Amino acid sequence: MSQARIAGTGSYLPRRVMTNAELECLVDTSDEWILERTGIAQRHIAADGETCADLAEQAARAAMAAAGPDNGSIDLVIVATSTPEHVFPSTACRLVERLGLPGGVIAFDVAAACSGFVYALDIANRFIRTGGAHRALVIGAEVFSRILDWSDRSTCVLFGDGSGAVVLEASDQAGILSTHLHADGRQTSLLNVPWGVGQGYEALEAERGTVSMRGNEVFRVAVRTLGGLVDETLKANGLERGDVDWLVPHQANIRIMDATARKLGLPAERMVSTVARHGNTSAASIPLALDEAVRDGRIQRGELLLLEAFGAGFTWGSALIRY
Ligand code: COA
């Protein structure tokens, strides 16, 4: 059985930046409140007509360029998203065409909300380890700006648009050391977009679906759940607090991220944090942060990374990676 390692990373952010000051003009909020409660100062917003597939394609191209010349051999494409361009075909299938990949590749989307990238990485790792694929594109891409109620101050200040990608390839060296995925559907009422084809035509035409969240309750579940996930991941790998080189967390709220870093015994500078500039980009946030820290030289080959996420469902998951 072969192992899977990250061969290259890439990311993309829409050009338009929306600051907290702009949000002050839309809803009853303040830069100070948003910064203090979330750590977010700005977010990127997709242009009119810019879709999930557009964002995913840019990140994929960057990751493929970073991974090197063997891109013709990509045989698996997984896109994690909750904001696909269409009900179908999947965003992954759109990319097969846009990237000029040969017919015969495997391509599908994964919906696990903010945990989607970790879910997709786990699936790609299993394909590679069992010989079902050799070189996979794993992408997280979101246009959450399209599913926000811009008059709801409790949600519209939190999210942003973006995409991130990795090329995962078969290798003799262990790259993905372990993955841990979970879901619990009993608290769907705390965080959801209660809209979709199940609503029937009239409801679909009457309103657009938007994020609904009981933020402080989600916050408490997230901190507790991620603490347990850290314990589970360290234990499965025989590691102690402080053994990990980098925490690359889902970027929902700096207070949740800091709590996880403390649980891991890591100083703040060992956590990759993009939440101030990107906001919560859901399934895109981890690969966006990973790509940034790889490109600016913070994350070096051979270092030990812990990726973790928590999202609607609830879903949660982690990946321990020797980069
Ligand atoms: N600006 C100003 N005030 C706001 C506000 C905003 N944008 N949003 C909410 N408030 C108000 C509330 O109305 C409330 O007012 P009240 O006390 O008069 O009722 C007050 O601020 C406190 O609200 P609360 O929801 O308790 O704040 P909080 O400290 O829990 O912070 C979140 C809110 C959403 C930032 C925080 O709960 C959070 O990040 N939750 C997790 C979100 C998350 O991770 N979601 C995705 C999972 S992937």
pLDDT at residue 139 tops 70:
yes
Q: Mean per-residue pLDDT for 252-275?
A: 97
pLDDT at residue 71 tops 70:
no
pLDDT tens digit sequence for 223-263: 999 999 999 999 999 999 999 999 999 999 999 999 999 99
Q: Mean per-residue pLDDT for 174-186?
A: 97
Looking at residue 144, its pLDDT comes to 98
Q: Mean per-residue pLDDT for 54-72?
A: 91
Looking at residue 323, its pLDDT comes to 97
Ligand 1 centroid distance, CA of 33 (Å) = 9
Looking at residue 203, its pLDDT comes to 80
Helix intervals (H) in the chain: 20-26, 31-38, 52-67, 91-98, 116-129, 153-156, 201-206, 215-236, 254-264, 275-278, 285-295
Could you give all domains of the chain from N- to C-terminal order, each with its CATH number?
3-172 (3.40.47.10), 178-322 (3.40.47.10)
Residue 246: partners with Cβ closer than 8 Å, 6 or more residues away:
266, 270, 271, 272, 293, 298, 299, 303, 304, 305, 306
| C-alpha angle 190-192-197 in degrees, rounded to nearest 5 | 145
Answer yes or no: are the C-beta atoms of 11 and 62 closer than 8 Å. yes
Q: Mean per-residue pLDDT for 15-22?
A: 98
pLDDT tens digit sequence for 81-90: 999 999 999 9
Share of the chain above pLDDT 70, in %: 99
Q: Mean per-residue pLDDT for 55-74?
A: 91
pLDDT at residue 127 tops 90:
yes
Per-residue confidence at 208, pLDDT binned at 50, 70, 90? confident
For residue 153, the ligand 1 atom closest to its alpha carbon is 7
Q: Mean per-residue pLDDT for 218-227?
A: 97
- DSSP 8-class letter at 49: T
Q: Mean per-residue pLDDT for 49-75?
A: 92
Nearest CA to ligand 1 atom 12: 154
Best mutation site among 37, 225, 258 for ligand 1, i.e. most ligand atoms within 8 A of its Cβ?
Answer: 37
Q: Mean per-residue pLDDT for 70-89?
A: 92
Looking at residue 52, its pLDDT comes to 98
pLDDT at residue 131 tops 80:
yes
Nearest CA to ligand 1 atom 44: 252
Best mutation site among 253, 258, 282, 308 for ligand 1, i.e. most ligand atoms within 8 A of its Cβ?
Answer: 253
**Whole-angstrom Cα distance, residue 141 to residue 82?**
8
**Whole-angstrom Cα distance, residue 259 to residue 224?**
9
Nearest to 165 by CA among 283, 309, 316: 283
pLDDT at residue 205 tops 90:
no
What residues does ligand 1 touch, defined as CB less than 6 Å away? 29, 33-34, 37-38, 114, 153-154, 157, 213, 215-216, 218-219, 222, 252-253, 256, 310-311
**Whole-angstrom Cα distance, residue 56 to residue 107?**
13
Per-residue confidence at 51, pLDDT binned at 50, 70, 90? very high
Nearest CA to ligand 1 atom 43: 252
As annotated, the active-site residues are 114, 250, 280
Ligand 1 centroid distance, CA of 149 (Å) = 15
How high is the mean pLDDT of the chain? 96
pLDDT tens digit sequence for 142-154: 999 999 999 999 9
Ligand 1 centroid distance, CA of 79 (Å) = 30
pLDDT at residue 216 tops 80:
yes
